[in-house]
Structure 1
């Protein structure tokens, strides 16, 4: 088992690290850098994106012929972790959700004509995108089988009707991947379609207020009101919608983990100097055993998350769906992120709770990690089923 990075990947990681430190992190301390939804202002984002593109740090997940860097998933793991150290980082490099997952999906399964129309503008940073699957109860959430939005065929087109919500990025997205029901078949009853924001019948409704900072475009309700979609804009075959969601969400869950590990590391980087310098009862905080236990547990949890993430990444690169490996990484990293940021705030005391550091931003952001792309409890169910099916082979070696 080889854990070292190839020289070219290590060089790229170091360039990302330097870019994040010099170009992006300094903006985080200025309140004027933030928009109304606590993300980086577009007036600052676009010049940074141009710099990232010129520096050869753009769209790491996309093939070079599309203008990306052509990284493997394992190489992405190391590099996404570096960009995730800044709360503004991933979006600067066009590696942020939901565009990141949508680009990976379309590159894998779209036709060449669909890639030219729907994918390339996202890669180029000209448009944003959204993936519309989740519905209000009793509709689809972690269980796509509960899908209530439907599409009925009408000649060479489809008519979509239904209601989606918590659609990330929908407030600014121009390209949508929308999953709806086309039959009552349990496995082949869903189909995915590509839709432009301006299509009559696609209604972007309420931007749902949330606890934490938002991605650009927020989390919106979306109505499908007799939305007509040409059959040419169907993604994959009729009935392949569940497959689309599995392909889309598998890698997307893992890239979330990569970015979250960077954020967890950053929280520790903020806490480390503080406990080394801050005096308490005649000695630095770092000399207190209780503080050392907190730091040691946090550091170990991050490393466990890194190993699980890299193992899943290597399996994806080998052509495996890596379902149980991704579930393990998703549980470990999402829960580690929340705990590590909480630990950093505890160690900094009132300063950590204030807006003098990014920790309170991270804390509110981190709470969603245990919910998005499948709650921790759902992923534990996945692991339980895998164990019951595989028995002792659950822990096999490749």
Structure 2
């Protein structure tokens, strides 16, 4: 692959960097800028979103006909990394989970009528969305074949019963993509449905308290006790739910990594700045070999993460599912984010543990990275399966056509 980015992407990156520096980061130090769950206050968010739209930096990841700029995954890797230099960044540009992944899968899989009903309002920023797949045990987690939520066809409707949990953004979502079982077929037994929060037959049982700051709408447990969904609101087709999950989850895992690289770099930036100005025992911290090794190690691991992410993004742009590449990036960058935040706190000392910097926010947020969209261990198992199947070809190079 060619690692040179286009002038257009560089222009977007530069403009995003300037917007984040001037318009978003200054609010991080203002406690009134946060909501009760550690995310950006809704009123402030609305103001910043209007500015992002006016600056032409809104929904860059989508196709022009959908309302975006058609960056492709490589362009997203460059821009998302820059957006998440601030803890508030992605949601301002309408590039945050779960809306980001939901918009991309609806853009790819929905009919024109479904796009008008379910996608366009998310793109406009008028509503938020959620993806309801994970279930309490013994239902599906990383293994969708264990799904217990059922959808029974009755005429031109499906009646859905079951339970989901840790559904990100559910409390604030208006539009939902719901995975449910429609048959026992191991490959075509799941179906994706679209429904609105105002439909009867379901409710939020609880918003689950978590360790870190939350996305808007939290992480909720949902109960379905007779939700009726019209057949017109099946996404892609009955029995094609696994395909929908493949279309959504692979790119969504990678966009997490893109954003986490931005947070990792910000952690290093804060640590560097403090080490350059803090004196102890007659010298600046940055002059100590131990500090320089800590920062150098992070710089190397961030660049490794960027290369893994970029290779996976390139493969997705070529039409591949990039399962190997995405899994490698997911494991590496998730662990990197935790290390970057931890090292930043260690170098800053008590200042890093306080709320004077975003480091403690990033640290609490980082622990979920090794769990969401597949735990480290699941992705390592995926990689081992490829290794057992491909042997030495696991590390092959793509050969350009002559």
TM-score range, shorter chain: over 0.9
Counterpart check, 1:342 vs 2:348: no
Contact 1:370–1:376 (Cα < 8 Å) also in 2: yes
Structure 2 counterpart of 1:258: 258
Q: Distance in 2 between matches of 1:216 and 1:266?
A: 22
Judge which range, 194-203 or 277-286, deviates more.
Answer: 277-286
- Aligned partner of 1:204 in structure 2 is 204
Give the Cα separation in 1 of the matches to 2:46 and 2:68.
Answer: 17
The C-alpha deviation readout for 1:302-348, integer Å capped at 9, x for no partner, is 11000000000000000000000000000000000001110000000
2:391 corresponds in structure 1 to: 391
CA contact (8 A) 1:327 1:379 kept: yes
Alpha-carbon offset, residue 205 of structure 1? 2.2
Whether contact under 8 Å (1:80, 1:255) holds in the other structure is: yes
For each residue in 1:148-168, what CA deviation from the matched residue of structure 2 results, as whole angstroms up to 9, or x when unmatched?
A: 000111011100000000000
2:170–2:219 Cα contact (<8 Å) kept: yes
Per the normalisation by structure 1, the TM-score is 0.99
Matches within 5 A, 1:351-362: 351-362=351-362
In structure 1, what is the Cα distance between the partners aligned to 2:41 and 2:332? 32
- Once residues 230 and 11 of structure 2 are traced to their aligned partners in structure 1, the CA distance between those partners, rounded to angstroms, is 45
Matched with 1:162 is 162
Runs of 4+ in 1 over 3 A off after TM superposition: none
Question: Which residue does the alignment assign to 2:64?
Answer: 64
Give the aligned partner of residue 305 of structure 2.
Answer: 305
TM-score w.r.t. length of structure 2: 0.98
The CA deviation at 1:70 is 1.4
* Cα drift, residue 122 of structure 1: 0.4
Correspondence for 2:95: 95
Q: What CA RMSD, in Å, does the superposition of the two structures yield over aligned residues?
A: 0.7
Quote the offset at 1:202 in angstroms: 2.1
What's the CA shift string for 1:62-94, capped at 9, x where partnerless?
112222121111000000000011000000000
- 1:175–1:197 CA contact under 8 A, matched in 2: yes
Equivalent residue runs for 1:14-29 within 5 Å: 14-29=14-29
Q: Which moved more, 1:271-280 or 1:168-177?
A: 271-280
**Mapped partners of 1:44, 1:205: distance in 2:** 29
SS at match of 1:229: strand
Classify the secondary structure of the residue corresponding to 2:165.
strand
1:34-62 CA-to-partner distances (Å, cap 9, x unmatched) read 00001000010001101100100000111
Is it true that 1:86 corresponds to 2:86 in the alignment?
A: yes
Separation in 1, partners of 2:363, 2:54: 33
| SS of corresponding position for 2:170 | coil
- Secondary structure of the residue aligned to 2:193 is strand
Greater Cα shift, 11-20 or 66-75: 66-75
Question: Which has the larger displacement, 287-296 or 10-19?
Answer: 287-296
For structure 2, the residue ranges without an aligned partner over 5 or more in a row are none
Moved more, 367-376 or 180-189: 180-189
Residue in structure 1 matched with residue 3 of structure 2 by the alignment: 3
Give the stretch that moved more between structures: 284-293 or 14-23.
284-293
* Contact 2:101–2:251, Cα closer than 8 Å, also in 1: yes
Q: 2:297 & 2:185 partners in 1: Cα distance? A: 47
Does structure 2 conserve the Cα–Cα contact (< 8 Å) formed by 1:177 and 1:195? yes
> How far 1:370 sits from its partner (Å)?
0.3
1:130 aligns with: 130
Distance 2:250 2:304 in 1: 20
Aligned pair 1:363/2:366, yes or no? Answer: no
> SS in structure 1 opposite 2:153?
strand
- Show the counterpart of 2:239: 239
Contact 1:56-1:69 within 8 A present in 2 as well:
no
Identify the residue that residue 117 of structure 1 maps to in structure 2.
117
- Judge conservation of contact 2:66–2:107 (CA < 8 Å) in 1: no
Q: How big is the shift at 1:280?
A: 2.0
Residue matched to 1:33: 33
What is residue 294 of structure 1 aligned with on the other side? 294
| SS in structure 2 at match of 1:134 | coil
Unaligned 5+ segments in structure 1 are none
Contact 1:64 1:70 in 2 (8 A): yes
For 1:185-200, what aligned pairs fall within 5 Å after superposition? 185-200=185-200
1:140 alignment partner in structure 2: 140
Tell me by how many angstroms 1:240 deviates: 0.8
Aligned residues: 398
